[in-house]
Structure 1
Amino acid sequence: MKNSNNVVWHHATVTRSRREQLNRHKGAILWFTGLSGAGKSTIAHAVEEQLHRLGCHTFVLDGDNVRHGLCGDLGFSPKDRTENIRRIGEMVKLFVETGIIVLTAFISPVRIDRERVRSLVGVDDFIEIYCRCPLGVCEDRDVKGLYQQAKSGKIKEFTGISSPYEAPEKPELVLDTNVCSLDECAGKVMVLLSQRGIIGK
């Protein structure tokens, strides 16, 4: 990627640590990954609801929502998928500097793309949460009929059908969303945040 010329990073007087003190919790990135229909967005919003009730400052970034604006010019080729995640990585890096907890719900099928984001934002801030779910269950949950369209050839390069998904090798948390309830999954995320000192016990 080519860098812009004649630009200098401007350092703010209000630092991340000062923002975190004001927020009364640490900033972090919860990166939910998994197949379409695995429960990423549903769990992310359930966790955000619990965090909000505790007074935490949060924001959920959803794959479809981001593609309406920031990444609206991208398709689903391998190159565009990588660029999609790169842009999101740069965005969440800025979000975490505000001292908030940002929750992302992207398929992000390529392992190296996710690892680039981890390297960009720092290992302490990046919490990879793998929403593991059998393909058949994801297909049964598919209210939009995307899997069927992919199987019939109407949607090209669809993850899990005509495009591969590379599961995380060492995620911070694995949620088996086909056997655990929504409350159980959200609860496990909250426990992890408490254990890591991001929120109070």
Structure 2
Amino acid sequence: MKHIHPVFDQILGREDKERMLEQRGCALWFTGLSGSGKTTIARHVEQALAGKGVLTQVLDGDNIRTGINNNLGFGEEDRVENIRRIAEVTKLFVHCGIVTLNCFISPTREMRQMAKDIIGADDFVEVFVDTSLEECEARDVKGLYRKARAGEIPNFTGIHEDFEAPINSDLHLKTEKKTVNHCVKEVLGFLDLRSRL
């Protein structure tokens, strides 16, 4: 590490960039089972915020794993590293004043706490997309549950691995009782109420 020379003190700071964008950066961390609706809700939130002139970036598990994390598998160590890298990238976006919408199963409380520690508690909003395993499996949009049940996908959260539901999420979306639009309104209402933008 002795040959690494960070230049953070020599480049434009967060306040400068947020002033340029006229918005405040933050990270919404959507967590929940595969098929719970994380990315669907985030995409609609992105569209709603764009309509208000807010610059956002959606980070989704599938997209990240085809790019920056394409060398990682789904074992425990790689899953932790996956979330660590995502959190570091998110921190960069947030410090540029961008509202970053993260859509990752991130199945353990420890993983999510690590992400929160990296990004910073003041900038981190945990959104629990609460959908039952039965409903997620019934939707099975990508056919992943069927493959997991058939033994084609090992270490699959909800089937082979537990999902540790958040105990005190900042926002709790019970998707089986609410429409996507209702969930989006809850997210936007939370951001407005907390002056996150």
Matches within 5 A, 1:106-185: 106-185=104-183
CA-to-partner distance for each residue in 1:46-86, whole Å, 9 max, x for gaps? 00000001001111001000000110001100111001001
Structure 2 gaps, min length 5: none
SS in 1 for 2:28: strand
Q: TM-score, normalised to structure 1's length?
A: 0.95
Which whole-Å CA distance do the structure 2 matches of 1:36 and 1:142 have between them? 8
- 1:128 CA displacement: 0.4
Structure 2 vs 1, CA of residues 148 and 121 (structure 1 numbering), >3 Å: closer, same or farther?
same
Counterpart position of 1:7:
4
What displacement does 1:5 show? 3.8
The alignment-based identity, stated in percent, is 44
In the alignment, which of 33, 52, 55 is matched to residue 53 of structure 2?
Answer: 55
Q: Pairwise mapping of residues 86-97 of structure 1 onto structure 2 (< 5 A)?
A: 86-97=84-95
Moved over 3 A (4+): none
Q: In angstroms, what is the RMSD of aligned CA positions?
A: 1.0
Measured after TM superposition, the shift of residue 155 of structure 1 is 0.7
Post-superposition Cα deviations, 1:94-139, rounded to whole Å, max 9, x if no partner, equal 1111011000101111211110111112111000000001101001
The alignment of Structure 1 onto Structure 2 pairs a total of residues equal to: 196
1:65 counterpart residue number: 63
Aligned partner of residue 154 in structure 2, secondary structure: coil
* Cα separation, 2, equivalents of 1:5 and 1:67: 31
The DSSP-based 3-state class of the residue aligned with 2:156 is coil
- Report Cα offsets for 1:12-55 as digits up to 9, x if no partner: 44211121122121100000000000000000010000000100
Structure 1 CA distance for aligned equivalents of residues 190 and 2 of structure 2:
41
Q: Could you tell me how far 1:87 is from its partner in structure 2?
A: 0.5
Query: Which TM-score applies when normalising by structure 2?
Result: 0.96
